[in-house]
Amino acid sequence: MSGLRVALGIGVRLGEGPVWCPREQALYFVDSMAPELLRWHPSTGDVARWPLPDLIGSFALRASGGAVLALRQGLFAFDFDSGVAEQVVDLAAENPENRFNDGKCDRRGRFWAGTMHFAGLPRLPKGFLYRFEADFTHARRESGIRTSNGIGWSPDDRTMYYTDTRIGRIYAYDYDLATGENANRRDFVVVDEATGRPDGLTVDSEGGVWSANWGGARVLRYRPDGTIDRVVETPVERPTSLTIGGPDMKTLYITSAWDGLDDAARAAQPLAGHVFALDLDIPGLPEPRFAG
């Protein structure tokens, strides 16, 4: 599948968590390690950057305005005008060696985000997956996770997908949108480590699961039965995550990273850290906002 292009040449260290905002026709994403939140308007090329007080794993735009941020060990309410992040959930006691990583909202506006072991290598199975309600009450929905990553839901909201990058698995669960309960975990995809590891994901309007392949220099689309439908080669070893946006919701945006590459590898991959785009024939679905 051809047509992949550099959409934004920005060279961030660890680009992650892209979210397309239809209201603003803008792409939001983060540099987890800078750390900062960024917003890019493709129509003008304008880029805004907000420095953050700690490492960021993910975020969601809020229905009430601003954003909710999953920083190192807790959730923060963020105001774009002032640039102030105020902690609303402190999970440091449960995650002394962890940091938050990927997160996303379901279509009732609940924010799901997970933690990963971050106190050295190897990454140990100490991570958790949390569900946050609009009032910031939360429940732990998974434990024993190595590297909590991509989350998404099928178009009919009956299946939830969740990635543990370090063990090369994307799980599928039965999902009850009314209650926010996930159950009956099973393997959706098991990725051979020799081909890379599954990272961030998004789900299109036909139920195709797009997964960035960290270390594999590619992005894959899986059919709902878990078989590979499309493979998109990337000019960077570490694509990190993706979302679908654009005026017609038919542009796949892919973030990437140079974090962890040595000097020789960085020199061989001058596009690492840029944002890429690919025109699709299947539209995506708007990302829900956090209900709080």
Structural domains of the chain, ranges and CATH numbers in brackets: 5-279 (2.120.10.30)
Note the pLDDT tens digit of each residue in 189-198: 999 999 999 9
Mean local confidence (pLDDT), 77-98? 98
Predicted pLDDT of residue 2: 67
Predicted pLDDT of residue 121: 87
DSSP 8-state code for residue 32: T
Q: How many angstroms separate the CA atoms of 3 and 156, rounded?
A: 30
The two tokens of residue 107 are 């279509």
Active site (catalytic) residues: 199
Mean local confidence (pLDDT), 240-247? 98
Beta bridge partners of 257: 14
Predicted pLDDT of residue 128: 98
Q: Above 60 in pLDDT, residue 1?
A: no
- Judge whether 58 and 104 are in contact, CB under 8 Å: yes
Amino acid at 88: V
Mean local confidence (pLDDT), 68-83? 98
Predicted pLDDT of residue 177: 98
Note the pLDDT tens digit of each residue in 30-51: 999 999 999 999 999 999 999 9
Instruction: Say if residue 152 is exposed, middle or buried (CB neighbours under 10 Å; 0-12, 13-18, 19+).
Output: buried
Question: Considering the chain, what is the average pLDDT of its residues?
Answer: 97
The residues, any chain, with a CB within 8 Å of residue 158's CB and separated by 6 or more, are: 174, 175
Q: Above 50 in pLDDT, residue 21?
A: yes
The two tokens of residue 123 are 């990454």
- Judge whether 191 and 222 are in contact, CB under 8 Å: no
Residue 172 confidence class, pLDDT cut points 50, 70, 90: very high
